[in-house]
Structure 1
Amino acid sequence: MLVYDRWGEFGRPVVLLHGLLFDRTMWWPVAAELASAGCTIVAPDLPGHGQSPPRDDYRLERVARDLAGLVDNLGLRRAPLLVGHGASALLAAVFADAYATHEVVMLDEPSPDARRIEEMAVTDGLDQIPDIYRCYAEPSRDPALLRAYESWAAQPPTRRNEPAMAGPPRSSPGVPDAAFLHLADPEGFAAVLRGLL
């Protein structure tokens, strides 16, 4: 089971996926900005993060299947806009390859050269987050949590659906290059997402 927060009942679903070591609260400032955009916002905790319980199987395909189940169980009948932060950009790409997806936005995507899970847990740039939002980006320091996700480092990302990109290392035109852009500028990032709805 995935614990999640939900805002809104109607409109295009926007699914916000936090990076490894973080939790769904990192999306609260963006969700507050999007709440009146006529969309349904869902921010789940990945397995073992936040309030979602740990499990035995953390493979990307399994987590993508659970995410699809959550979208279905919530009655979100339109294809979602997925936002993946850090290593969850891989999850968003795997989801988009298997399930109907409106658009994918990737933030702070790990380097294609990353071969260890520690390199995929994006924490560089936390100092760029304004003090008012820093409480939403407190990474877990649990090495067992990273070890549980090691299979993610062995799977290269897919690009079948050519998702939209935002943030380093590749960005969409007009999107500033800033680490943790969704917390550095929640209002601006929400405006980018509204433009994709």
Structure 2
Amino acid sequence: MHPRPPRRTTHAFGTPKNRLVYDRWGAYGRPVVLLHGLLYDRTMWWPVAADLDNACSVLAVDLPGHGQSAPRGDYDLDALTQDLAVLISGLDLHRAPVVVGHGESALLANAFADAYATRAVVTLDEPVAEPADSVEQHLAAVDLGTIPAPYRQFAVAREDAALLRAYRCWFKRPDAGRARPHPVSAARPRSGFPHLREPASFAATLRDLL
């Protein structure tokens, strides 16, 4: 009997200057792109991705400067949107993706859907203002007590105020935070990591969008 391939594999895309590291589950089906908020990394999506199993091809991407993705001199939103599009196109899955944005990555998810064919956009814990000056202020509204203990390890923030400031350029766009009428969209209330409080339920929501 042949051994089963690992459910999660890790990949790197791009050049050393714009490298994006991502985890992937599944080789076929519609791509589902999972984007974390500022100061976190792609591991926050592991419980949801594991629950999706082989229903689709899941990508959990580290934003530049986070996790294992290379920092950049310029964190321009349009440039990162294009990088994501090239990454997804290179998978040869030939289906418009479902793009999920947590926190500040809601802006990235919406920017992607504005520019490229997208099956659905799901956003959660959307920011109400640009990143705060300090990590403490930025995380003040986060209540990890609502997350079951086994999943809190996936919500560990990186204490890097300089990284917060670097991403403020995302909020200088005239359309930042604008509601967009995408073909299919779903916004989750600002309730603190709903994808970690109930990973199976959140995975079911994404499965319904495929």
Q: Is the 8 A contact 1:86 1:121 kept in 2?
A: no
Q: Does the 8 A contact of 1:4 with 1:44 survive in 2?
A: yes
Please list the CA deviations of residues 172-194 of structure 1 after superposition, one character each: whole Å capped at 9, or x if unmatched.
xxxxxx32010000000001111
The answer for the alignment partner of 1:132 in structure 2 is 150
One-letter identity of the residue aligned with 1:165: A
Pairing 1:43–2:57 present: no
Q: Counterpart of 1:3 in structure 2: which amino acid?
A: V
Bigger Cα displacement from structure 2, 73-82 vs 127-136: 73-82
Partner of 2:9: none
Aligned length: 185
Question: Would you say the 8 A contact 2:38–2:164 is kept in 1?
Answer: yes
Structure 1 length-normalised TM: 0.88
Residue 6 (str. 1) matches residue 28 (str. 2):
no
Tell me the TM-score normalized by structure 2.
0.83
For residues 87-166 of structure 1, the aligned pairs below 5 Å read 87-111=104-128, 114=129, 116-118=130-132, 124-155=142-173, 156-162=176-182, 164-166=185-187
Quote how far apart the aligned CAs of 1:145 are. 0.9
Quick one: distance in 2 between partners of 1:124 and 1:153? Answer: 20
Q: 1:74 to 1:148 in 2, by over 3 A?
A: same
Secondary structure at the aligned position of 1:47 is classed as: coil
The one of 182, 186, 191 aligned to 2:199: 186
**DSSP-derived class of the 1:3 partner:** strand
Shift of 1:2: 0.6
* 2: CA distance, partners of 1:161 / 1:73: 27
More divergent stretch after superposition (69-78 vs 9-18):
69-78
Return the offset for 1:59: 1.4
- Residue 26 of structure 1 aligns with which residue? 44
Identity of aligned residues (%): 57
Moved more, 74-83 or 118-127: 118-127
What are the ranges of 5 or more consecutive residues in structure 2 without an aligned counterpart?
1-18
> For the pair shown, which has the larger CA radius of gyration, 1 or 2?
2
> Does the CA-based 8 Å contact 1:19-1:121 persist in structure 2?
no
1:124 Cα shift? 1.5
Deviation for aligned residue 1:72: 1.5
